[in-house]
Structure 1
């Protein structure tokens, strides 16, 4: 099957971590024997503008071979920012890239949009223009938070109306799409993000506590709740527990979080790693006893599954994705936005781990996780999504 993918976000030279997991998703489809191409109008933030960046990204269109995938990019800048017409400009650019892709590789069998927030609008236009089926997978947390602006809403409605098959990465996101009248729940299948269980594996040995080592992976933005995590950690330290926290990820809150750690007196118990490679993330998880997610909301939570695959005990807020991941799997959950609940659970689990209690996933848990979140399962479910799109399109 020939599939053209339009992502709403994708890795770029100036933001290599943004949507990097999509590479692995699409490469898995290609490895299964499907032809996959990508078009992406990358519009960089003007905050990243420099003479060197402008020489590399001057609104030119260029083919790239990335993970053996043909990717057609337009290297530009987000000149309009959030001004009216910015999303329309992105969609117009993506449609032009789609036509150029089709002139080289032929029209695809299926058009697949990754999020309706703007790529879905471009996919809808190409689907009508080419008379092709359209699939839509929703990842965007803005649908959970209900924060889309009017222009995003207009194009998102067009995407959901045109889509022949729709998927969401978690039940919480599916419920949000239904309750906000984007799409009936009966039309939305589940297509969770996959994890490579041959890469993320338990280590042969872990360091013996104390200290009990915790890890947290994600962008350092307010929605991730890392400030509450640091406050909870300070309470654990004050209670006399020997503990260390590894924070992996970059973001605009990093400096403020480092300052907060010093103010709370836990700077010696926290290591801020910044952005790490996948092997280095795996190493952090394999050396940790537990993983903690303090987010206010998550549409899924890939690092939670990666941590479980590495054998970590997991403490997470009930923020959307973790409820799905930890259903029928050993783990602890607390309400979001509650520093006290997070602190109490973190202290309780830290003491249990220090005493050698087995809080990590069992063998049965790991089998369940593999069955639900492996790449084999992902490919099968994605191809089913495409087949459903083709059947619905043919019936019209």
Structure 2
């Protein structure tokens, strides 16, 4: 039988550089590199048999890519779309698994607090949604919609009837406003609270410093050396901290903190000093406000809403203390804890900048409107379920 002549290949100047880069580029896939080399050999007028010998490819493979390039050019060197293996699971089954992941296990009578991927795969088979399903398949389905039933977050209902009024009052102070009027240069805002039960845990073995490819090592076993409370007052706009340690919290320790701040300038002669506090037992209610104003007439106590101490900026400072001073906890005794806290306070004040507080009254209105819509929708769903 006569031998079919190979298709002549002509590589245009615009394509030659791309083909060469494809044939000899270090980041080119091997399959694409070999196809490009077939084209370059064919462009030199070599036969398919010779190209097969020089590249180590099968003769039919050389003939295929030579013909594809002759007919389609560079796009012909890419793989054609394939139908692939038929899907094992239907879209309905994937949707049913996602719906199951969005239900609490208790609603199905399963004695679990939350779903894990292996438990979901097991429940899918038990409910006969699928005859068998792998853990990786369930994980891939959940990943498509970012469903993570093994995670949880805590939240709380708003119980303070005056939540919005109290919250706006605090946020206005952070923006240097009170009753719609800007604060004067001789008016200050102090955020105060207590960090309770800072323990002195003396590790049974010395803490090892970090090294190359090794983290700091802290011994797990320790002896208890007691606990103390750290009271701090934070000037919101000057970024200055005043603090001291007490054996416990209470009215007297808190008033000692107030006296520590109000007995020095510029607060002693200020027109007004606003003290933002939460609803802790040592400064709760109108009695605490009256007690403060009786001791210092220019001091005004402002309470955050109930269960909203996160609006108190001193809590941000306490989080810094927790990360940089208290953790990991390895102190020989309580005096060492107090000395470390006082030293860190001086270090912090030397370089501190005011916190970039971005939550404004407008954000508060948007949040409350969102919660109101959520509550309304939930009530409507509950009424509908009862009616059914």
Fold shared per TM-score above 0.5? no
TM range (shorter): under 0.3
* Larger RCO (alpha carbons 8 Å, 6+ apart): 1
Give the structure with higher Rg (CA).
2
Compute the TM-score of the two structures, normalised by the length of structure 1. 0.27
Where is the strand percentage greater, Structure 1 or Structure 2? 1
Compute the TM-score of the two structures, normalised by the length of structure 2. 0.27
